[in-house]
Copies of this chain bind each other. A is one copy, B any other.
Amino acid sequence: MKKFLNEPEAFVDEMLEGIYAAHPQQLTYVADDKRCLVSVARQPGKVGLATGGGSGHLPLFLGYVGRGMLDGCAVGGVFQSPSAQQMFEVTKAIDQGAGVLYIYGNYTGDILNFDMATELAEMENIRVLSVVGNDDVASSVQGEEHKRRGVAGIFFVYKAAGAAAEEGMSLDEVTRVADKARLATRTMGVALSSCIVPEVGHATFSIGEREMEIGMGIHGEPGIRRGPLLPADAVVDEMLKPILAELQLGQGSEVAVLVNGLGGTPQEELYVMYRRIHQVLGGQGVQVAQVHVGEFATAMEMAGASISLIKLDDELKRLITAPADTPFFRQHPQAGR
């Protein structure tokens, strides 16, 4: 295990100490618990947006807390759900009287804890709604979308909902927007190597020196198929196929694209992939309104990548391109691609 760490058990809390030390003007914590992370800024009357999930996915989840995106994040251990109590503490801290929307990924532990936090919040008369990201097309067949995992595409849901809340929309409206973004987003991933959870100390799974696994999840969940590593263009084509089909993209459609590195893959390779995505979309007459290439939702040091597309209408386009300023994501006004 080749990692920069001290005691594996201290990894998440030391990481958080680094986060707070590096970004004191933007991030702080409540309830005397470093894992209850909130934005320093409060905007009276704004709908609060919270997320949460396991560590090991930076910038996901806490990296998107900041102006124009989220207000708080409950932070779990590596690949572990935070507790309901932590989610509730974040909820109380960020509620400005307009209610709170939870946006998180479709994992059993997170659902259980966010549902419990919702009940705790309601007892304190804080209205809470939830949108559960399930963008990973590889994790279940069409028609069974409720079984799908949430992966990198949740970035677009955060971005759209964050901008909607910033515009002053009500909780119901922000939720409508978040759900629209969720339904318009699809992701497919591919893994080339495993990751190592610090407290485990060895690779989560093994994969051959010339193999790839298409559709693998960001914790190493099984994908659709394992096979020889193909040329980049062929990998991209295979990843794009179900996304294009499900989103019914064609002449005149408009999308934003996220090419996400899973941790161990150089950005150069992500751009080689984007080159092919651009060719394929162009060939089908699909307009690209915005492109993000980099690390947005990782699995520690896993080599691999995911492609997320969101199909845009005018409202989603306006919200996706609105400014944002978080420790891990900054977008200037009028940012196109």
Contact = CB atoms under 8 A, between A and B. Distances in A.
B293 A22 contact: yes
Contacts of A2: 192-193, 209-210, 212, 229, 303
A231 B22 contact: no
Name the residue in A5, A209, A270, A278 with the highest tally of chain B Cβ atoms < 10 Å from its Cβ: A5
Interface of A: 2-6, 11-12, 14-19, 21-25, 55-56, 58-59, 192-193, 209-210, 212, 229, 231-233, 235, 263-275, 278, 291, 293-295, 298, 300-301, 303, 305, 325, 328, 330-332, 336-337
A18 B267 CA distance: 11
A21 B264 CA distance: 23
Contacts of A266: 3, 56, 58, 263, 298, 300-301
A325 B332 contact: yes
Name the residue in A2, A16, A291, A330 with the highest tally of chain B Cβ atoms < 10 Å from its Cβ: A2
Nearest to A234: B6
A313 to B, nearest CB: 22
12 contacts: A2-B212, A4-B232, A4-B305, A14-B275, A18-B270, A18-B275, A56-B268, A58-B267, A265-B301, A295-B295, A330-B332, A332-B332
Nearest to A323: B332
A117 B291 CA distance: 34
A56 to B, nearest CB: 7
B25 A273 contact: no
B295 A6 contact: no
